[in-house]
Structure 1
Amino acid sequence: MMINLREKILAHGVSTLKNEELLAVIIGNGTKNNSVVDLSKKIICDSGGLNLSLRQLMSFNGIGVAQACKVLAAIELGSRKIQSDTLSEKVVSVDDVGQHLINKIGNTPQEKLVAVYLNNSYHVIDERVIFIGTVDQATVHPRDILREAISMSATQIIVAHNHPNGSLMFSTNDQDFSLRLKKSCQLIGINLIDHLIITKKTYSSLKTLNLI
C-alpha cells in the first residue's frame, strides 16, 4: 500500500492524495487486521478531523509514540505554513481576502483582528494581526490600525476578525467599532473597503449588509 501511495505522489503529486492517504504516508504501517489507510480512516472518522493529543492518538491500536509524534509534527507544520502565508504584493478583491483569511484564522480558538493594507491599485502592501481577543471599542482603537497604514503609506484597508463560535452575525460592538474606524479613516484620507467576519468555512461582509 505504501509503495502505491508513493507511486501516486511521484506520478500525480501529493495534492492528489485523500486525507486518509496523506495520514497513511505519515504513519507508515498498519496493523495485522487493518491496512494503514484503514487505520488512517478510523483516526480521521473517530476524531472528527485531526484535533488530537498525543495520548488520544496513541489510544488507536497500531499508533505508538513515534507515529503519534510524526502525525502531530506534520499537523503543526501545516498550521505554521498557513500562518506564514500572506497576500503581499498581490492584486486582490474582498473575496480573495476573505478566502485567504478563512484558511489563516478561521480555525483559531481566539478572536483575531487582522488588517490588510492596500494601495490605490488594490495591491496588498502587508497584512498584520492587530489584536487578539474580543473586538470592541474598549479594547481596540482605530489608531492601532491607522498607525500601521500611515507607516506603510497604505490608502485602503480591509479589516477582518474571526468568530470561533461560527456565527456570521455582526454584533453591536462590531458595528460600532467599524463605524468609528470608518470615520477615522475618512479624516486622514484612507478608504475602509470592508470589515469581514471570518468562520471556518465562510465569511460575511459588513459592506454587503450595508452596515458601513
Structure 2
Amino acid sequence: MDELAEGGHSAPANHSKPHFHGHRERLRRRLLEQGPGSLSDYEVIEFLLFGAKPRGDVKPLAKALIAQFGSLAGVLSAAPRDLQKVPGMGDASTAALLIIREAATRLARTDILEQPVIESWTQLVGYCRSIMGRSSVEHFRVLFLDRKNRLIADEEQQRGTVDHTPVYPREVVKRALELSASAVILVHNHPSGDATPSQGDIDMTKEIRETARRMGIELHDHLIVTRSGESSFRSLGLI
C-alpha cells in the first residue's frame, strides 16, 4: 500500500516493475525489525529524503551525498548552498536534512541546560563540536552563564570567512549585561582542522577577558573546536 500511495498509481499488469519497487518498504521493515544499527549511512540519508521525494529511487542521491561530503556527519553538517550543488538536491530535500541537524542540536543542548556546565564539560564540548566543528567557515559563539554556572543562552555572535571572524569585545560584554550573565565561555571553530590557538585568538581573548572583568563578568574559558578535536585556553594556561 505504501508504494501505491507514493507512486500515485499501480503498475499495469504484465509490465515489469522498476528495480527499486518495494525498496522503501523493505528498508522500513529492516529498521523496525533489526533496529537503526542495521542501516548504512546512505540508507539513513535515504530515509531522510523519503518525505521530500515521495516518488522514485533516492538511493543514487543518497550515495552521491556521501561521496561528496565523505560521511553521514559530513552531509548533515554541510551548508545549504553546498548541498544544493549536488544534482537532485532541491529546496525540499535540503530542508529535510537541515531540520534533522537542528533537531540533533536541540537534543544535545538539553544535556547541558539543567546542570552547571562545569559538571557537564564533556557534553558541552561535544555539543560545541557538533554544531560548529565541521563548518567550512569560522563561527564565534558565546555561552552565557548565570551565577550557578548554568546556561542562560547560547548565541552566535559572528560568522566569518574561511580563516577570519571579526570579534568585538564590547558587543560580547554588552550582551552579557543584557542577559544578566555572571560568566561567559567563548567558542569558535577552525575550519583548517588545527585547534591550536593563533596569536590573534590569544590577543582577542585577553581583550574580552579584561573588558568583561571590568564589568564583573568572568571569562571561564575559550574553546576552539574542529571536526576531530578541540583545545581549551584554560587547559593551555592562556586564561
Q: TM-score, normalised by structure 2?
A: 0.68
CA-based RMSD: 2.9
For residue 90 of structure 1, what is the aligned residue in structure 2? 114
**Which residue number in structure 1 is paired with residue 235 of structure 2?**
208
Q: Is the alpha carbon distance of 1:110 and 1:13 closer, same or farther for their aligned partners in structure 2, counting shifts above 3 Å?
A: same
Equivalent AA in structure 2 for residue 119 of structure 1: D
In the aligned structure 1, how far is the partner of 2:194 from the partner of 2:177?
A: 32
Of 7-16 and 164-173, deviating more is 7-16
Distance 1:15 1:29, change over 3 A: farther
CA distance in 1, matches of 2:232, 2:56: 46
Give the drift of 1:14: 5.3
Task: Please list every run of 5 or more consecutive structure 2 residues that lacks an aligned counterpart in the other structure.
Answer: 1-22
Deviations 1:13-50 (A, max 9, x none): 657643222123335755xxxxx76x467435532244
Partner of 1:141: 168
Q: How far 1:181 moved relative to its partner?
A: 1.4
Letter in 2 for 1:4: R
Answer whether contact 1:105 1:112 (CA < 8 A) is retained. Answer: yes
The one of 105, 121, 140 equivalent to 1:113 is: 140
Residue in structure 2 matched with residue 46 of structure 1 by the alignment: 67
Amino acid in the other structure paired with 1:95: T
| Greater RCO structure (CA 8 Å; 6+ sep) | 1
Task: Work out the CA distance in 2 between the residues paired with 1:107 and 1:162.
Answer: 8
Report how far residue 117 of structure 1 moved.
0.6
CA distance in 1, matches of 2:94, 2:154: 28
Q: Which residue of 2 aligns with 1:65?
A: none
2:40 aligned residue: 18
Counting aligned pairs with the same residue, the percent is: 23
Distance 1:40 1:13, change over 3 A: farther
Deviations 1:99-138 (Å, cap 9, x if unpaired)? 1111112222221110001112221000111112224xxx
The answer (yes or no) to whether the contact 1:163–1:198 under 8 Å persists in 2 is yes
Pick from 75, 79, 87 the counterpart of residue 57 of structure 1.
Answer: 87
The answer (yes or no) to whether the contact 1:159–1:194 under 8 Å persists in 2 is: yes
Native 8 Å contact 2:133 2:226 kept in 1: yes
The higher radius of gyration belongs to 2
Change (3 A) 1:104 1:55: closer
CA distance in 1, matches of 2:39, 2:195: 32
- Tell me the distance in 2 between the aligned counterparts of 1:180 and 1:165: 24
How many angstroms apart in 2 are the aligned matches of 1:83 and 1:2?
27
CA shift in 2, pair 1:165/1:126, >3 Å: same
Q: How big is each residue's C-alpha offset from its partner over 1:56-112, in whole Å with a ceiling of 9 and x where there is no partner?
A: 434xxxxxxxxx435433223334445666457432234332211111122222211
